[in-house]
Each structure stands twice: as C-alpha cells, then as structure tokens.
Amino acid sequence: MMSPLSPVRTAPGFVLSAAAALALTALSTAAAAGPVVGVQPMIAAPRHVHIAPWVEGVDPALESALFAATYRALPSHNVLKVYAFSATGYESAGIRFSARVPHEARDLTEPEIASEAVTLIRTTFDDFPSVQEVDIWGTVPVAISRMTAVENTVFSISADRDTYSQVRNQRGLRNDFFLGAFGRVWFAPQVPR
C-alpha cells in the first residue's frame, strides 16, 4: 500500500534522485507482482503545496516574507533567490540578485550594484529584526558552455546587524562607504565602473 507523498525541503537534485529510486523500486515491485493494467503517476505535488522558486533555504516563511519585502524595495526587481537559516534564536539570510538589467543587454555598474546591495541590507535589517547576518551575491547569466571558465558571481558582501546598527543613521554616507563599513565587500574585475 502506498502512502500519500508529503512535501519535503531538500537539497536541489536530491528530489530527482529520490524520484528515480522510487520509480525503480515501484517498477521492480510491479514486475514481480505481474502485469500492470492501469498505471497512475507515482509522484505528484499535492494541490495545497505552494511552489515558490525564489525560496531555497530552511525557513520558508521567513524566506517568502524577505523575498516579498526585497522585491518591493528594488526598483528593477532583480531578486532571484532568498535563503534563510534559523537556529535557536539566531537567524541569517542570503539574497542572490541579478546584476544584469532586466530586459536589457547590459550589466549593472559598480555604483548600481552598490545601491541595490545597500537597499537589500537596509530592508533586511529594518524589516526583519531577528536576522543577525545577511550575505548578498550579485550574479550575471553565463552560458552553460562557459561555466567552467567564467564565474557568474560578480559581487558579494556579508553584513552583520552590529555594524549596521553603527552606520544606519549616518547622514550623507555614500553607498561605497556604507558597504565598506562591513569590511567584506567584493566586486569582480569585469564589473563596469
């Protein structure tokens, strides 16, 4: 007797291998039992499951709320993925955004990336007081054939709440100085200045 499937959060790729293993098990069981007259699909998502492709961590509620807040905050709507981790009162997040201008054939410049990163940091820490650290990555699309030779991450920063509390209200602080306060900022050499 088969029991209904329930949604499980797993690492990408695990679901595919688990589905293949289930299918092989079912086929070998069916072959041993005799001919199969009517075959129903074995794996189907329950109708009540809401699929959110931008969410890929361990805290779906926080991830969805953070995605909604950051998506609204960015004028170009470049947020691609949101990750969240929660353990005994410590929450951290990761946000991956596109460093390519949507619907245009150009990448964001360093000042544009900095502006988006500042917005993501401010939105995360202002709207989610339980988040203690946020890592942000800017990426550009790279053809699969070039993936081994070309890195698609062009920006990264790790921001912590303590440093943010010290710099958040400094008037006239330029984006590059704001980001520099965290001490962990990286721009790829190919990012347009």
**Per-residue pLDDT in tens (0 to 9) along the chain, 193 residues:** 444 443 434 344 433 334 444 444 444 444 444 454 444 444 444 455 555 666 666 788 888 899 999 989 987 778 888 999 887 778 999 999 999 887 787 889 999 999 999 999 999 999 999 999 999 999 987 766 666 655 688 999 999 999 999 999 998 899 999 999 998 888 988 888 8
Model pTM above 0.75: no
Domain of residue 35 covers 12-44
Question: Could you tell me the strand order of the sheet in which 185-187 lies?
Answer: 79-87, 90-98, 131-139, 153-160, 185-187
Whether residue 52 lies inside any domain: the answer is: no
Whether residue 109 lies inside any domain: the answer is: yes
Q: Where are the alpha helices (DSSP H) in 7-139?
A: 14-33, 60-73, 110-127
- Whole-angstrom distance, CA of residue 71 vs CA of residue 67: 6
Same domain assignment for residues 67 and 39:
no
Q: Where are the beta strands (DSSP E) in 31-89?
A: 79-87
Whether residue 51 lies inside any domain: the answer is: no
Same domain assignment for residues 174 and 83:
yes
Q: DSSP secondary structure string, 114-143?
A: HHHHHHHHHHHHHH-TTEEEEEEEEE----
When divided into structural domains, the chain yields a total of 2
Whether residue 4 lies inside any domain: the answer is: no
